[in-house]
Structure 1
Amino acid sequence: MPNNKKDTPFTFPQAHSTVLPDPSTFFSQNLVSPLPTNSFFQNWVLNNGDNQEYIHPYLIKPSNSSLSISYPSRSANSAVIYQAFNPDLTITSADNKIKQSSNKKHTISSYTDLSVTVDMPSSNMSFPLVRGSPYVTVRVTEPTHISISTIHAILFVTPLDPSLTKYSFTLNNSQTWIIYASSPIFLTRGRDTSEITSERSFSGIIRLALWPDSDTKYEAILDKYSSCYPVSGDAVLREPFFMEYKWEKEGSGGDLLLLAHPLHVNLLSKHGVTVLDDFKYNSIDGELVGVVGDSWLLEADPVSVTWHSTKGVKEESRDEIVSALLKDVDGLNSSGITQTNSYFYGKLIARAARLALIAEEVFFYEVIPKVVKFLKETIEPWLEGTYNGNGFLYDGKWGGIITKLGSTDTGGDFGFGIYNDHHFHLGYFLYAIAVLAKIDPAWGRKYKAQAYSIMEDFMNLSTRSNSNYTRLRCFDFYKLHSWAAGLTEFNDGRNQESTSEAVGAYYSAALMGMAYGDANLVAIGSTLTAFEILATQMWWHVKEGGNLYEEEFTRENRVVGVLWSNKRDSGLWFASAERRECRLGIQLLPVLPISEILFSDVEYVKDLVEWTLPAISDGTGEGWKGFLYALQGVYDNEGALEKIRRLNGFDDGNSLTNLLWWIHTRGGGDE
């Protein structure tokens, strides 16, 4: 699939943000905007740049002149699972340690979809860090005395090859590490039992790998693939529902050994690769297994993106939906809108757009003109920059859209101005735009450039330096899902709460492609939707008896609240873990036709609903109840319908019409 195309490039008015950090501090001057704002190494370019990030299977933490590596231990209870960082190994220049004079910062000299290269000029070291590598590779660019230290005690240092190019060292925390060198390196343990140094200066390649098991088969495998190392990796959306990983490698030849997480393993084509099922590393994302090959091909089951439900509304249910539709459409009033927050505004217009599509599905076209009028009056001011109190701006510093409110307040629009939640907010706008462009193609043509600009903020596939927007701002090519938190430093890395809104964003982009007759956009949006759904079902949906997470956590939870790169949290940003109805609802809203696929496992849905129901009380908001009952309708139409009819309020992005449409288009247990 080639890059997204649009007729004429468009940017919103120039932003002059007072809250955005300067992106130039840690990035090499050779790297120009647009720069990433939700990347897997984001902590390394924010503030002091020295917080850890998870580069499977290691937590990595850079400083000015050293890099620390942790094979993290994991702790779990009923509320949270997290990986603890301990600097098991720290590598630097012994010369620099003696001088204690360098204030040079580390530099990100290059990055790709699957890799980042961290340079440390003061230590003559460069680290091409590739995701999923069981080795940490170090290029020592000038003759340097190497120092490898640890917070543990080093019990043994053992040369394992007469050429002095391979050593093992065992720590008092029971870890054993292997070091490979491209030429002889003379390592000794000094008086300090927590440090190894090289007696002579060294230049060349060093590779460090945890020996994860005392079984000699692990050593043999690490030996076999130690001389060939990856330096970068790209992900290519080659055709619909396929993703190819392609790595660049160096060294003395041979095949690459990398690690796959459980979703990779489920999707991996075995053609051209060898899966080493008995070569494993631990991970918070499930066991990582070895895969040998210079490229991987991942294939997801096709997802059908449709405007309407797949089963349609039964004739006997039509009147009830039409009755609700008349009331909901009658309540649309653009002149009464006081909402300025871009997230809630997006939900408001997407809710109205749902009404138009439901009207189509039940063949009640009379109300559509009023919905169209409302959508035009509410969307156009944002596209034309005339909405009072807020609007879209273009930030050239990082290459993206921010809002007027977000440009002066880090908390404005939930942090949209520092690149939080972009796919959530803009996904709602895209949905409304797609529906309006479908119904009124002339309007769609008039605002096509603005529509594509909004889409490309989070779904640009270009790698060109002259692109207006960074490449796939939120989507993580290795994890196969999105991250929501932008330019904020977190100890646990990136995070995402609402998977359903992420799914909805890519789904909405695909719908926009359908509205504009853009087959390429349909393919890209559908493909990202498919991967996002699979990752959600893998890591957020916690199934009874599952073995991905610890039993204590699995027993008490049926859905993750906030998923971090380095943590699983039962709590939410806006509610405690005890608010199970909120945890369910934030993973379902907005209710769309694509929700059928996201929650296609009826057994899991029933388990999730029954887990949530005891949390309902007199104080539970009607909006959250609506989402719970919607899922109940997947397996119990009549019971859910009765409850929905009694609701006296709805989430601001939902409506009685939408819930009735959902219930009356389910097969459930009544078929």
Structure 2
Amino acid sequence: MLAGCTGGSGTDGDGDTTGRPDATGDVLPASQVDPLVAALPQESVGAVPTMRLADGLVPPTNAWFSGLVFGDQPQPVFPFPFSFQLTDDGFAAGLPMPVASEKAIVGPALPDVTLDVGATATEVSAYDKVSVTVAHLDGDTVLGHTTVAEGSPLVSYTAASAQTDTLGAAVTSTGDGRGTLTVGDATWGVVVTGGDLDGTSVRLDEGGSVVLVPVPDGATDDQVGTVLDAAASPLVSVTTGHRASGSGSSAVSTTELGYETAAGGDTLLVSAPHMGGSATGGDTGLSYETIYGTVPLAVGTSLSFDAPVTTASAGLDLSGLGDDQRQQLGDQVRADVASTTEPAADTYFGGKALYRSAMLMQLAEQLGDDASADTLRTSIVDRLDTWTDPSGCETREQECFVYDPAVKGVVGKVASFGSDEFNDHYFHYGYFLYAAGVVAADDPELAERWQPVMDLLAADIASGSGNGSFPDQRAFDPYWSHSWASGYSPFADGNNQESSSEAVTAYAGLSLWAAATGDDALGGEASWMLSSEASSALAYWLNPDLSGPTADGYDHAIVSLTWGGKRDYGTWFSAEPSAIAGIQLIPLAPSSVSYLTSSAAGGAEQIARVVDEAAASGFDAPLGDYVLMYSALQGPDQAAQALSTLADLPESGIDDGNSRAYAMAYVMSAGAR
């Protein structure tokens, strides 16, 4: 990815901080979504959590800051590059100090600097996709608001009335309401506008503000002055825009984040590693050490960065297969069709079963096996007809969806992996969307029949017009270019994502569904999310840059769990190396081929490193079939070896979302590339 930090007028967007980021076109607007929501049964499948959220805001599940909103006690969050946490009377912020071990790079939240504003309660009063604003309350009285954002080192507090607040350490004044304070090894800059500083006391007029900013190590007096100048105006919000340009292999998807301050103009910005290194146009020469390595501090109004366009694919390319391979593959398709079992009733395994059948159907069609293709199509249509009945949950307790009016989202009646707590919705629904997009691609009548529910699954993960029934792009984070899996994020390390590959599959499925229904606005948004997620999957999970000093001691080729405050080599479900790698590959959908074979994926050398580590004890291990399929992307020789190994892999070694035929087809097509 390439990045730029600009000092112009910022990105297109309305600056709204009520949970409505800027979108291109009307993506699933209220006029489209409201009647569909009304047709679903209304029910909270899981217990509704405590919410510290202002009236009128859509609950922001699956956000980097969800821990501020949900649960009995607020959790620390990681705006980047600093940590932020609410206290009994105000807030604390700190610059994490990364420490690496064999299996983790950690940077826990630190309370370097605190501000006591006399609050007795807090609530999130505004948010967009990148920033969040917290109201500090004394009873029903709003004392002031604090805004923090990803990519901004500013902690911005604005007083709602005249007041005197207390810092946790005394400020060494440099005059004009400015100074620095030091706690341990950390130095923070302090800038007061509309008030004054005196030791630990911060006097603010109504509308006055205090901005806190971590001073990078090694900053000279002149550089500290530059930092304080650029931090003078409190951050208000961040707008998000995206656009596509170019064509073919040169096509790119651009994300633009506009950082808006109370006074307008330049502010301090921090670009993440996947954005392409040092931002241009306003480099301060300073940087922060983070769990992601060294990141530059710049001055400007916006960040703009590109990702190569990743295109959703409905099926594998079998054009290079020989007659013998096609015969062998056809025999296995028929065997897999015959051995297909009854699907699961929950949204994860039920969705995976639909996806598996859709991939087998694609293979049968390409191989000219009309009988198998018809059998599979009939089965998929019957099952999707059941799942997409809007009133299904009125008559049964499974294979149906309801709308949760409290947390605002679509939930399957049978929960799995915490889906009733809004965990992993995009993983689950991506499988449904992929299957429906494939099967309905050439059948407008089917697409129309399934739309009342399938459009709601799309809206649950990808609304983009502030429709009020769902948060926009529920899990997707445009700053990091990836999604967050935990609905309520009840963790001291922030939110997290494990399966980068299922995230990519989700937005590929969204793209296929948008194409099947002719929804160009949704298709444009899906392409942006798919391209972004694929690029970040490589940058942070499958081919991360671990060369910096903050990663010294970490001893693995990949990172499998990315959090706000740490990076882990592990999974939620297994300690096996095959699972740790496999969860970054599952389900190896047709759309995976382009990004896993791109230059950013690290080539055969990185694939070999991942496979050698993951399959040291063989491929008959959790998710080992995906590791074996991935190994074929190294080249024809490795593909031939993978095909031979696959023939000896027992049925228990094939994941329930996979099939031996699809695994064979993936390996064969890789060898024919």
Q: TM over 0.5: same fold?
A: yes
User: Counterpart of 1:634 in structure 2: which amino acid?
Assistant: L
Query: Cα 1:438–1:387, aligned 2, differ >3 Å: closer, same or farther?
Result: farther
1:160 maps to what in 2? 174
2:168 maps to what in 1? 149
Matches of 1:279 and 1:549, distance apart in 2: 17
Are 2:581 and 1:575 equivalent residues in the alignment? no
CA contact (8 A) 1:65 1:121 kept: no
1:3 maps to what in 2? 26
2:149 to 105, 130, 143: 130
2:352 maps to what in 1? 347
CA deviations on 1:607-660 (whole Å, 9 max, x unpaired) are 11112221338xx43x63311211121121111110011122111000111011
Matches of 2:81 and 2:42, distance apart in 1: 39
CA contact (8 A) 1:125 1:141 kept: yes
2:611 maps to what in 1? 609
1:409 maps to what in 2? none
Query: Cα 1:201–1:583, aligned 2, differ >3 Å: closer, same or farther?
Result: closer
Query: Cα 1:86–1:389, aligned 2, differ >3 Å: closer, same or farther?
Result: same
CA contact (8 A) 2:360 2:661 kept: yes
1:324 maps to what in 2? 332
2:260 to 235, 248, 272: 248
1:410 maps to what in 2? none
1:182 to 190, 193, 198: 193
CA deviations on 1:395-430 (whole Å, 9 max, x unpaired) are 111211112233xxxxxx111011001011111111
CA contact (8 A) 1:580 1:615 kept: no
Matches of 1:633 and 1:648, distance apart in 2: 19
Matches of 1:637 and 1:443, distance apart in 2: 37
2:402 to 389, 393, 404: 393
Q: Secondary structure at the match of 2:238?
A: strand
Are 2:41 and 1:14 equivalent residues in the alignment? yes
Q: CA deviation at 1:275?
A: 4.3
CA deviations on 1:566-589 (whole Å, 9 max, x unpaired) are 11121211112xx11111111111
CA contact (8 A) 1:313 1:661 kept: no
1:442 maps to what in 2? 445
Query: Cα 1:548–1:368, aligned 2, differ >3 Å: closer, same or farther?
Result: farther
Matches of 1:119 and 1:322, distance apart in 2: 62
Are 2:105 and 1:81 equivalent residues in the alignment? yes
> TM-score when scaled to structure 2?
0.87
1:279 to 286, 290, 297: 286
Q: CA deviation at 1:286?
A: 2.9
Q: CA deviation at 1:300?
A: 1.5
Moved more, 557-566 or 501-510: 557-566
User: Counterpart of 1:657 in structure 2: which amino acid?
Assistant: A
Query: Cα 1:306–1:18, aligned 2, differ >3 Å: closer, same or farther?
Result: closer
Moved more, 10-19 or 487-496: 10-19
* Residue ranges of structure 2 left out of the alignment (5+ in a row): 1-23, 246-252, 598-602
Query: Cα 1:78–1:330, aligned 2, differ >3 Å: closer, same or farther?
Result: same
User: Counterpart of 2:524 in structure 1: which amino acid?
Assistant: A
User: Counterpart of 1:219 in structure 2: which amino acid?
Assistant: V
Q: Secondary structure at the match of 1:318?
A: helix
Query: Cα 1:463–1:179, aligned 2, differ >3 Å: closer, same or farther?
Result: same
Q: Secondary structure at the match of 1:137?
A: strand
Q: Secondary structure at the match of 2:83?
A: strand
CA contact (8 A) 1:261 1:286 kept: no
CA deviations on 1:13-43 (whole Å, 9 max, x unpaired) are 32432633256x42112x33x3211112111
1:645 maps to what in 2? 647
Q: Secondary structure at the match of 1:142?
A: coil
Matches of 1:84 and 1:283, distance apart in 2: 11
How many matched pairs? 619
Q: CA deviation at 1:549?
A: 5.3
CA contact (8 A) 1:234 1:247 kept: yes
1:193 maps to what in 2? none
Matches of 2:544 and 2:186, distance apart in 1: 32
User: Counterpart of 2:655 in structure 1: which amino acid?
Assistant: D
Matches of 1:550 and 1:591, distance apart in 2: 28
Moved more, 540-549 or 12-21: 540-549
Q: CA deviation at 1:5?
A: 4.3
Are 2:222 and 1:208 equivalent residues in the alignment? no
CA contact (8 A) 2:293 2:551 kept: no
Query: Cα 1:571–1:353, aligned 2, differ >3 Å: closer, same or farther?
Result: same
2:600 maps to what in 1? none
1:419 to 422, 432, 438: 422
Matches of 1:441 and 1:596, distance apart in 2: 28
1:657 to 648, 655, 661: 661
Equivalent positions of 1:221-370 (< 5 A) are 221-239=226-244, 241-251=253-263, 254-265=265-276, 274-276=281-283, 278-310=285-317, 312-316=319-323, 317-332=325-340, 336-337=342-343, 339-370=344-375
Q: Percent identity?
A: 24
Matches of 2:564 and 2:378, distance apart in 1: 43
Matches of 1:629 and 1:214, distance apart in 2: 48
Are 2:57 and 1:52 equivalent residues in the alignment? no
User: Counterpart of 2:331 in structure 1: which amino acid?
Assistant: S
Query: Cα 1:591–1:133, aligned 2, differ >3 Å: closer, same or farther?
Result: closer
Q: Which has the higher contact order (CA 8 A, sep 6+)?
A: 2
Q: Secondary structure at the match of 1:292?
A: strand
Q: CA deviation at 1:383?
A: 1.1
CA contact (8 A) 2:99 2:105 kept: yes
Q: Secondary structure at the match of 1:145?
A: strand
2:412 maps to what in 1? 403
Q: CA deviation at 1:220?
A: 3.1
CA deviations on 1:105-127 (whole Å, 9 max, x unpaired) are 11211111111111113382311
CA contact (8 A) 2:28 2:459 kept: no
Are 2:547 and 1:558 equivalent residues in the alignment? no
Are 2:565 and 1:594 equivalent residues in the alignment? no
CA deviations on 1:252-293 (whole Å, 9 max, x unpaired) are x54122111111236x9x7xx624162212222332222333
CA deviations on 1:84-135 (whole Å, 9 max, x unpaired) are 2231111013xx4xxxxx6x41121111111111111338231122222222
CA contact (8 A) 1:3 1:460 kept: no
Query: Cα 1:277–1:353, aligned 2, differ >3 Å: closer, same or farther?
Result: farther
CA deviations on 1:542-600 (whole Å, 9 max, x unpaired) are 558633851211xx212223221111121211112xx1111111111112112213322
Query: Cα 1:184–1:377, aligned 2, differ >3 Å: closer, same or farther?
Result: closer
Query: Which contiguous aligned blocks of 4+ residues in structure 1 show a shift greater than 4 angstroms?
Result: 5-8, 200-203, 542-545
Are 2:166 and 1:120 equivalent residues in the alignment? no
CA contact (8 A) 2:43 2:405 kept: no
User: Counterpart of 1:26 in structure 2: which amino acid?
Assistant: R
Q: Secondary structure at the match of 1:124?
A: strand
Larger radius of gyration: 1
Matches of 1:561 and 1:160, distance apart in 2: 45
User: Counterpart of 1:491 in structure 2: which amino acid?
Assistant: A
Q: Secondary structure at the match of 1:236?
A: strand
CA deviations on 1:57-95 (whole Å, 9 max, x unpaired) are 2111113421111111222210122112231111013xx
Matches of 2:276 and 2:631, distance apart in 1: 32
User: Counterpart of 2:148 in structure 1: which amino acid?
Assistant: L
* Residue ranges of structure 1 left out of the alignment (5+ in a row): 97-101, 189-195, 407-412
Moved more, 524-533 or 286-295: 286-295
